[in-house]
Structure 1
């Protein structure tokens, strides 16, 4: 929270009692200065709090806030292109990447039959971890505890997970593991699981680490040599959603006095083709998509852009030359670095909001290496929110079962202590009365244990049912049981705000004050 935000919060807290009293005092008539305000009437505060009305913005299209953000304080808004301004058809993208990868693997000597292997494009989600030693794909919670895993498409048992991952601390940054943290990388995970399954089913001995390295190299090669990008550019409607609300959203930000910049790792030719498809001819006020932006930087090589001092170049046709400040609207720049861009913009870091999709390349690095505020585009969020809405009753039942478990565990501790106390009394004074009391308490303990077993069984069944509504293999993207998932933790830590697409910002004022919900610690909950 900025100093301004804190000051606003403090002033609001100071005046809240007076404001509430005034609302209640004036509920039945005009304010004392009604003549100067047109006789404005105030309703009781309770009426405001309890009045039921449908939300003006559907939950799937809302902007969610982790840290207070005043858009009024933002002077520049920057955007990544791929998976941010450009929303891809993920299933089509995965199919394209998988087909290209399998062909290149066969060219490297892998058996021909892998070309006909069924690869389910709905298998992978962001936030998974590849274990290259054992060939497993894993999901972890925020504390790096593995909760679920697959070898090929066989789900690992609890005993397998406990034996492999609960005795030692997992170190995801070591060469043994690889994060799947982008939508671009989902095809890597599903291709890996599919080939582990297919090769082992046919009796091949699999070098799990080499297989994953080969898959990654083939996918990267398919991007570098144009196999993937050329196919996308040749059929953009198949691979990319053209959002009719994108141009009006950018226009709304510009009209409020904010300046916009594009910062993408894509090369110029691909950027020109993509941005023309997304914004070309969308509004009469903008003859070209470049007119939406005050600065356009391609081939930015993020995350190195935030950490290194690469030179900023001006792009002229097929040539580049060192860029001169000030940067000019309508020109295209290449490369560069954080310090040079901030100097060109002439604003402090916290007056910049950067909108991207990549936890590491866009959000984490911009957050760690600058004071930029961050907005994360999570394409999957619309599905996540819809699934949450569909299983809200189940989640409320789980909360009630958790309360029931806590009460019965409290009772269990009481009766177990009572049994020990009765045992001590019986040692001193054996009697039928005390023995009968101990037997009665033991029966109560068994009944409570039976209830707890039923609660546990019912909770597991509901959790499985709820998980399936989010994702058939992995459950919720953001949660892992009661905990945040590893992906959810990163969103919470590094994204000031997050939403499913850029155009959702258009439903809010350019001066919107996004407020984060009150953080609640465990000791603040319950009685």
Structure 2
């Protein structure tokens, strides 16, 4: 039965306005669905702060972090010329893997196939990459490798690649693993001593985008009866300054940013919040020296620190999939909350806006790649046919008499020429497909291509998003484009045999 034959109920126009509105949403305004989620069943909605409620201007943050980290490295005894090197803030994306033994940065697909690799800032050719990573399985859990899985960690990869490049160029012998460990320690030290955080806090408009729709998004959820909580790893002083910048004075109904939330918990220590048993502590005041005391209840208007998943659920009296958590960190926010609880999850991927723009710009090239793939399959079928025909004619020709042998030899020669022509055409087609694919990927990202794909497969990052995030979107405020009672439905999941 086709759509025209379906007998649909006569629904008044004023009741379908929401559906019509959703159908007109642009791609960057949408929430994408991996697993169906009925918002009507969600009682509590929680939010991370950094890179979730607070959308950082990535290039500014990365440049600040890189400069602070390189200064710490020089202070540790690395050559002063390191401070003069050019570190590309565009280099890193989420989902990369650092090979600390060899000084390489890798991008893998969902099956651990290394599709791209750089030594420093120089891309490894396919033969080198194959010899290093395709003959043995990459065991990412060992000490040799390190995931770059957050936006916060992008400067680590940029500094590492740039430092490997410049130190190699100057002929400085360096232990690549020790270099990476020093970079990690330097950037952590820069965060602890205020070299990064204090600069951000004192110039928030430079580093943070203030989304004018954030307050109304939170208000819309509250107005639908949802309870909201803030669960962040940031300390109280930084959290308070950031949240004031994001929400203070946005809506007259809220005298303070804290009134948007029923529970505020800082210094949460995720991902251990989801696995350990650290008790909740309540701050007795807002000053840095004010004492903290054990908390036995979670109350509106109070400020809490640390805590754990089990106590949180027990204290609010809501459990499992009635809680929706919104965060940006695949491991700290999403994976651990999925593995250690049945909380539903929304992953904020602020790179989505650029990813969707690149998809739009590359539609014609993708169509061409698909057409080339179909043409290659047809030509390969022809090639196999003529190869088989040539072999059969050659075998029979040896047993034929003179007249029959000459005819078969001529037919065999014709088949051989056809085989040679098809092979040449296939080589040309492969070059065209490879060049088109490379051009397409460079539109997504100059070094790594699409965030979500590696070749025709999902990238390791894309695979994690698909497996662990119920929903994903580019920013929190996209939730406001849907009813707080919306039913998010996942698309039908098809296997290859269902696509025939």
What is residue 381 of structure 1 aligned with on the other side? 352
* Cross-structure match for 1:46: none
CA RMSD between the two structures = 2.0
1:302-451 aligned within 5 A = 302-317=270-285, 318-325=290-297, 327-429=298-400, 431=404, 432-451=406-425
Q: How many residues align?
A: 487
Q: Deviations over 1:294-348 (max 9, x none)?
A: 11111110000001111011111211111122x2111111111111111122223
Q: Separation in 2 of the partners of 1:309 and 1:524?
A: 46
Alignment of 1:9-88 (within 5 A): 20-23=5-8, 56-88=24-56
Structure 1 Cα separation of the partners of residues 395 and 222 of structure 2: 79
Q: 1:472 aligns with which of 413, 427, 446?
A: 446
Secondary structure of residue in 1 paired with 2:92: coil
- Summarize the alignment of residues 43-442 of structure 1 with structure 2, pairs less than 5 Å apart: 56-317=24-285, 318-325=290-297, 327-429=298-400, 431=404, 432-442=406-416
How far apart in 1 are the matches of 2:270 and 2:22? Answer: 41
Does the alignment pair 1:463 with 2:437? yes
SS of the equivalent of 2:101 reads coil
Please state how far the C-alpha of 1:54 moved relative to its aligned partner: 11
Shift in Å at residue 18 of structure 1?
11
Q: 2:22·2:482 contact (CA, 8 Å) conserved in 1?
A: no
Alpha-carbon deviations, 1:484-523, whole Å to 9, x = none? Answer: 1111111111111100100011111111111222222223
Corresponding residue number in structure 2 for 1:5: none
- Contact between 2:22 and 2:481, CA under 8 Å: does it hold in 1? no
Partner in structure 2 of residue 498 of structure 1: 472
Give the secondary-structure state (helix, strand or coil) at the position aligned to 1:22: coil
The 1-side partners of 2:6 and 2:435 are apart by: 49
Give the whole-Å Cα distance in 1 for the aligned partners of 2:7 and 2:154.
56
- The CA deviation string for residues 98-157 of structure 1, in whole angstroms up to 9 with x for no partner, is 111111111111122211111111111111111111111111111111111111211111
In 2, Cα distance between the equivalents of 1:269 and 1:245? 24
Give the SS at the match of 2:7: helix
Please report the TM-score for the alignment, with normalisation by the length of structure 1: 0.89
Structure 1 stretches lacking a partner, 5+ long: 1-15, 32-36, 41-51
Distance across 2 between alignment mates of 1:335 and 1:137: 34
Per-residue CA deviations over 1:329-375 (Å, capped at 9, x if unaligned) read 11111111111111122223011111000010001000111001110
1:6 corresponds in structure 2 to: none
1:249 partner SS: helix
